Each structure stands twice: as C-alpha cells, then as structure tokens.
C-alpha cells in the first residue's frame, strides 16, 4: 500500500504530523509513505525513510504535483484548504481522508471530526482511525545534527533558547517583556529567529550572557542549537515543537492564541493569557479590540517563575 500525508502549512504544523509518519510505519511495515509539504520539509524531515515531495503551492505547480501523487492509494490530509481538497480529488487517489471542517469536504471519501480542546497531535492521529489503526505513536520526533553548537561557541545543556518572534505579530509577547525576562535570568541565553526578524531583534537587550543568532542559522543549524539547549522559551511558534521533537522541554507564552487550540508543549509547560479578550483565533491577523492588551501579558514575573521550575 502507498500512503501519502499532505500538510502544506507552517513548520510547526509539519512537526506535529510526525506522529502520523511514525504510527503508519509501526502499523504498515511494508507500506510506501510519502509526504507533501513546503520546500523546508527536505531539511526538517531529514532522517525519515519516506518520499519527501516539496510543494511551493504555485498555480502551475498545483497541476504538476497531481501527476506526482497519482500513484498513492490513500492520502491523509490534516490540511483543510480548498486547494488541498481540489488537488487530492483531481489526483484520483482512491481514499482521501480529511477533517469535516475542511473546505469542500464532499471531495473526501472519509471525514473525521475536527474539534478544538484537543492537542493537534491527537487531532491528527484521529485521521488514521478510518484505516482501522488502534496502536498510535504520540511522540513527535526530528533528527538533528549533533556537531552544530560548537560552531556558535556553545556548550551542551549550558544555555536556554529564547525565541521571541512569530509569523503572526499578534502571537509575539512584547519586546519590553522579553528584555525584562532576559535581565532576570542568570544563565547563558541564545536568541533565535529568521532574517525577517532582524529589524525587531535590534530592540533586544545586548549583554555578555546573550548570544544573538537571529538570522544567522539555517533550519538544520537551528535544530542543532535547540537540541543542545536546557530549555526553550517562545511564543506560540515552531521552536516549541522543534524542541519537543528533540526531547527538549519548552515553555509557550500565549498572547492572542491559547492552549485550547491544541498547540501547547507536549514536554514542558505554558502560560495562557489573562487578557479578557484572549484568545482571538489560532492564527490572529487583527486585534479585535484595537488595544493589543494581550501582548503585554502575562508578566515577566509569571514567566520567570515557571522557568525556575525547569532550571
């Protein structure tokens, strides 16, 4: 049997589908497994013995990928977009399993209930139940390189990683709060982020205990740096899930989102936001009150108290 997993969302979403790969491997020993995702999957999922099919989601490429995936017998799709539904339908994959809240749900052969107040890992694993699977692997897993941290002058388990940025600004705890937290931490700190975060990173505190790697790491290097950390502290963003998939505890500081959406750390802890207007949505784009009150909460003292439980 040839089984395809389709998840073309963000990096963290892909990490939370790794239990699908592991569960399928455990239950269908002779199955051929493929994975369609954004181009970063070739680096992120390195180490998995599956076919990785990068997809840029362009108009022309949407037609090309139909040819690439026609050979599959079953497709599992945590992704709920209209484009996804159409591509999988026109690829004529015999069995198409998706969520009941997917766009164009009638194009799937099997629908599974999508609900909040459930971890994303468990939500995704529910997609395997139509295949009769009862034995699940719940842990996320990535394979990182072990020789990275020396390049950045770091010692294994001698630092914590702080990741203050996100693809969604309303998920970002204020820089003032991050700076206050950094001042109060008595340990080596590594700040991470992408090149798109360089301008915002200029507002972060600079001192001897802070190593700023914003925009300086490849994805594989970021994974290596996180693997060597004692703890990761971040917004509701992918470094949390990278950490857990490498066995590192993480703390999520929620602003406009919430643990109820199911993206909280599997190893570690989190602080939901006390603002009365929080949460907005899983991927908030506009503040519904105009105050952005949640970005100032919770307090640095609350976050520091939680960190101390792990250090």
Q: Same domain, yes or no, for 118 and 191? A: no
Q: Same domain, yes or no, for 229 and 109? A: no
Determine what percent of the chain is predicted with pLDDT higher than 90. 96
Mean local confidence (pLDDT), 44-65: 94
End-of-domain residue from the set 104, 131, 158: 131
End-of-domain residue from the set 103, 131, 159: 131
Q: Same domain, yes or no, for 88 and 185? A: no
Q: Is residue 138 part of a domain?
A: no
Q: What is the pLDDT of residues 187-218, one digit of tens each?
A: 999 999 999 999 999 999 999 999 999 999 99
Mean local confidence (pLDDT), 167-172: 95
CA distances from 204 to 155, 162, 288 (A): 23, 11, 27
Q: Same domain, yes or no, for 211 and 297? A: yes
Beta strands in 130-214 (DSSP E): 159-163, 188-191, 210-212
Q: What is the DSSP string of 229-262?
A: -SEEEESSSHHHHHHHHTT--EEEE-SSS-GGGS
Q: Is residue 47 part of a domain?
A: yes
The dihedral region occupied by 57, where left means phi > 0, alpha psi between -120 and 50, and beta the remainder, is left
Mean local confidence (pLDDT), 151-180: 96
Can you tell me the distance from the alpha carbon of 159 to that of 94, in angstroms, rounded to the nearest whole number? 49
Q: What is the pLDDT of residues 80-108, one digit of tens each?
A: 999 999 999 999 999 999 999 999 999 99
Q: Same domain, yes or no, for 91 and 211? A: no
Q: Is residue 246 part of a domain?
A: yes
Q: Residue 284: which CATH number?
A: 3.40.50.2000
Q: Same domain, yes or no, for 55 and 92? A: yes
Q: Is residue 142 part of a domain?
A: no
Q: Same domain, yes or no, for 16 and 163? A: no
Q: Same domain, yes or no, for 189 and 298? A: yes
At 128, the pLDDT band (50, 70, 90 cuts) reads very high
Q: Is residue 160 part of a domain?
A: yes
Beta-ladder partners of 95: 74
- Give 277's Cβ-side CA count (13 Å radius): 16
Evaluate if residue 174 carries a pLDDT over 90. yes
Q: Is residue 137 part of a domain?
A: no
Q: Is residue 141 part of a domain?
A: no
Alpha helices in the chain (DSSP H): 11-15, 18-27, 41-44, 59-69, 82-90, 120-125, 175-184, 198-201, 219-227, 238-245, 300-310
Q: For the range 22-30, what are the long-range contacts, defined as Cβ-Cβ under 8 Å and sequence gap of 24 or more?
A: 22/137, 22/139, 22/141, 23/125, 23/128, 23/133, 23/135, 23/136, 23/137, 24/128, 26/135, 26/137, 27/128, 27/131, 27/133, 27/135, 28/1, 28/3, 30/1
Can you tell me the distance from the alpha carbon of 157 to that of 227, in angstroms, rounded to the nearest whole number? 9
Residues of the domain holding 50: 2-131
pLDDT, averaged across the chain: 97
At 3, the pLDDT band (50, 70, 90 cuts) reads very high
Q: Same domain, yes or no, for 159 and 290? A: yes
Q: Same domain, yes or no, for 154 and 295? A: yes
| Count of structural domains within the chain | 2
Q: Is residue 144 part of a domain?
A: no
| Range from 60-64, 155-159, 245-249, 297-301 carrying the lowest mean pLDDT | 60-64
Q: Same domain, yes or no, for 168 and 83? A: no
pTM: 0.97
Question: Residue 146 has what pLDDT?
Answer: 82
Task: Please answer whether residues 91 and 69 qualify as being in contact, where contact means their C-beta atoms are separated by less than 8 angstroms.
Answer: yes
Q: Same domain, yes or no, for 124 and 155? A: no
């Amino acid at each position: 049997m040839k089984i395809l997993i389709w998840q073309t969302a963000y990096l963290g979403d892909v990490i939370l589908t790794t239990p699908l790969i592991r569960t399928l491997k455990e239950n269908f020993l002779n199955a051929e497994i493929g994975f369609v995702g954004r181009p970063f999957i070739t680096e992120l999922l390195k180490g998995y013995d599956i076919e990785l099919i990068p997809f840029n989601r362009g108009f022309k490429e949407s037609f090309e990928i139909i040819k690439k995936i026609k050979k599959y017998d079953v497709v599992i799709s945590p992704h709920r977009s209209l484009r996804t539904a159409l591509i999988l339908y026109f690829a004529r994959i015999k069995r198409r399993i998706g969520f009941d809240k997917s766009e164009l749900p009638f194009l799937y052969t099997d629908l599974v209930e999508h609900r909040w107040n459930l971890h994303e890992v468990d939500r995704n694993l529910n997609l395997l139940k139509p295949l009769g699977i009862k034995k699940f692997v719940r842990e996320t897993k990535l394979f990182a390189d072990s020789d990275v941290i020396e390049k950045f002058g770091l010692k294994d388990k001698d630092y914590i990683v702080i990741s203050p940025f996100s693809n969604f600004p309303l998920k970002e705890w204020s820089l003032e709060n991050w700076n206050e937290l950094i001042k109060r931490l008595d340990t080596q700190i590594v700040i991470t982020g992408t090149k798109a975060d360089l301008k915002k990173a200029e507002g972060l505190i600079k001192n001897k205990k802070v190593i700023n790697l914003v925009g300086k790491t490849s994805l594989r290097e970021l994974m290596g740096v996180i693997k060597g950390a004692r703890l990761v502290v971040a917004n509701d963003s992918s470094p949390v899930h990278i950490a857990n998939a490498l066995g590192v505890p993480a703390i999520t500081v929620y602003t406009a989102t919430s643990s109820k959406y199911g993206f909280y750390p599997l190893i570690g802890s989190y602080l939901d936001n006390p603002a009365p207007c929080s949460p907005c949505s899983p991927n908030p784009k506009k503040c519904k009150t105009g105050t952005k009150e949640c970005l100032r909460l919770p307090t640095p003292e609350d976050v520091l108290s939680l960190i101390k439980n792990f250090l």
